[in-house]
Structure 1
Amino acid sequence: MARAAVVTHEAPRKKKPRLAAGRARALGMPTRGTTNPNRLRRVDRWLTGTPQVTRALSGRSEPLVVDLGYGSSPVTTVELARRLRTVRSDVRVVGLEIDDERVAAGKAVADPPHLDFRVGGFEFAGLAAGVAGSTGPRLVRALNVLRQYTEPEAWDAWRGMCARLAPDGLLVEGTCDEIGRRCCWVTLDRNGPRTLTLACRPDSLDRPSDLAERLPKTLIHRNVPGEPVHALLTELDTCWDLAAPKTPFGPRARWADAILRLAERGSGRVLDRWRRWRLGEVTVAWSAVAPAS
């Protein structure tokens, strides 16, 4: 009697990031492409007003900035180039996308060499340090790019991009909501992550921990008891409650007072000052939120 065939059923495995189909060098996977004018205004304001970023753009003429994964419209890359020119008039901005149609939309508004667009991904499309004589980008903005990846894949992407920076370059990677009212990003250099920034329109929050849903991929699954990022957000909520007497002066005043209380609790976690807090921001040392394991 013939033996019945045994059929096994395995759960489908998620594909690892790979070279985009049909391309030899564009590394990564296409994003959803969602974008809106001024969606990234908070991160751009921080970039143009933060000394560590302006230092990275100083020195060599025509510093290279890469905007990675700008989406279905090039509008936020155009905005980035315009805003960076207020602090460095000769900055060169290159928007990278894996999708040909998105790159074509960018080229329609390009202004080479000050603003250009290429097909590319995490490999930086020939702009990485050491490739064809390039010294590498002085700044890379990668917003809303890594949410579709796993946490280990996001760490791998960080390591790869950091290795391709200019020696004193910076990577700013994070996420924001669809209209840019809630944002979180990590700033990295060649040695790895340095800081975490939370930025928001305070009147869009019930409490600061609402920002947890916008944490970068390397932190979002760590917002659980026992992890430093969870402890930080919990403590920030406590400071927010203690700042309730500032409510009559508006949400920004309450946010700033909450951050002041957090800073006064010590350990050097809070790295910025009142002027940034009044904008709905706070930047903390990476050591304050780094995963426990």
Structure 2
Amino acid sequence: MGAITRGTTNPNRLRRCDRWLTGPQAWRLRQTDRPPVAIDLGFGASPVTAVELHQRLRRVRADAQVVGLEIDLDRVRAALPLERPGLTFRHGGFEIPVPGQVEVVRAFNVLRQYDESQVRGAWDRVRERLAPRGLLVDGTCDEIGRLSSWIAVDHIGPISLTISVRLAGLEDPSIVAERLPKALIHRNVPGERIHQLLRDLGDAWAHASPHAAYGARQRFIVTARTLRDAGWPVLDGPHRWRLGELGVAWHAVAPRP
């Protein structure tokens, strides 16, 4: 189920999301009695992101199983020589054609190429395959992974939005607007919650400029605290903020009806 995407990818492009999956979300892999299963949905013209996901998840669970799924059969055939214990490649899409339930479905730069009206249907199809503690990650990033954002969706529905940016040389974190997931990118207009968040994020970054003397990490930490103090439901804490990562509860950015 789905459509063939452009397939562009690069090594280390999804490192920011993988760092989040193996950090604050690692408990989803640990709290299962069987080997956890993670899906790299729509891995693209090169299987490198699936290979990297396998390497990174195995640091959390040595028995983690990663399946790279592609709707383009030629891409699957090209990836088969890279199979190894715990890493396989299959032909498939949003139906997730693997046995049993899965702990993680990472779909990056996939739904961005669909219409906004198709997003919820894709989410719902994937949610049917999630384990009780499972998670769908619907994300978008730039070509080399310096700007990323993703929506976390569990078996009930969307729960959070996370943005992650490279702090070195960053002029304004609200630039992530150009890399929002499809569910939000067209909602970055006055009157929508995501527009207000990005505007407040840019303002908080500007107001934190005196802290730039202590480095971009300290400036971003102050920015995140400013947002939290202003009432935004900011998630995690300085240990994530110092990485250029900021999460907010979904209800704060959800599109208005």
The answer for the alignment partner of 1:42 in structure 2 is 16
Determine which of 279, 283, 286 is the counterpart of 2:243: 279
Q: State percent identity of aligned pairs.
A: 54
2:130 maps to 165
Distance 1:161 1:279 in 2: 29
Give the secondary structure class of the aligned counterpart of 2:112: coil
Q: State the Cα RMSD in Å.
A: 1.2
Unpaired runs of at least 5, structure 1: 1-26, 128-133
SS at match of 1:209: helix
Q: Secondary structure at the match of 1:147?
A: helix
One-letter code aligned to 2:4 = P
1:136–1:166 contact (8 Å) kept in structure 2: yes
Matched with 1:105 is 78
Q: Deviations 1:4-49 (Å, cap 9, x if unpaired)? A: xxxxxxxxxxxxxxxxxxxxxxx11111111111000111011101
Q: Which residue of 1 aligns with 2:88?
A: 116
The offset of 1:74, in angstroms, is 0.7
Do the aligned partners of residues 286 and 53 (structure 1) sit closer, same or farther apart at CA in structure 2, a change above 3 Å counting? farther
Q: Distance in 2 between matches of 1:152 and 1:200?
A: 27
| 1:80 lines up with 2:53 in the alignment | yes
Name the SS of the counterpart of 1:108 in structure 2. Answer: helix
TM-superposed CA distance for 1:203, in Å, is 3.0
Partners of 1:57 and 1:139 within 8 A in 2:
no
State how far apart, in whole Å, the 2-side matches of 1:151 and 1:106 are: 30
Per-residue deviation, 1:178: 0.2
Secondary structure of 2:213's counterpart equals helix
Aligned partner of 2:161 among 176, 183, 196: 196
Matched-pair contact (CA < 8 Å) for 1:103–1:118: yes
Amino acid at match of 2:72: D
Find the structure with the greater CA-based Rg. 1
**Counterpart code for 1:183:** S
Secondary structure of the corresponding residue to residue 89 of structure 2: strand
In structure 2, C-alpha distance between the alignment counterparts of 1:192 and 1:61, rounded to whole Å: 24
User: CA offset at residue 204 of structure 1?
Assistant: 4.7
1: distance between equivalents of 2:171 and 2:4?
A: 33
SS of alignment partner, residue 199 of structure 2: helix
Q: Does 1:29 align with 2:3?
A: yes
Q: Secondary structure at the match of 1:35?
A: coil
TM-score, structure 2 length as denominator? 0.96
Do 2:165 and 2:173's aligned partners in 1 also have CA atoms closer than 8 Å?
A: no
Distance across 1 between alignment mates of 2:10 and 2:123: 25
Q: How does 1:50-65 map to 2 (within 5 A)?
A: 50=24, 52-65=25-38
Deviates most, 60-69 or 203-212: 203-212
2:63 to 73, 90, 103: 90
C-alpha contact 2:106 2:138 (8 A) present in aligned 1: yes
Structure-2 residue corresponding to 1:23? none
Q: How many residues align?
A: 257
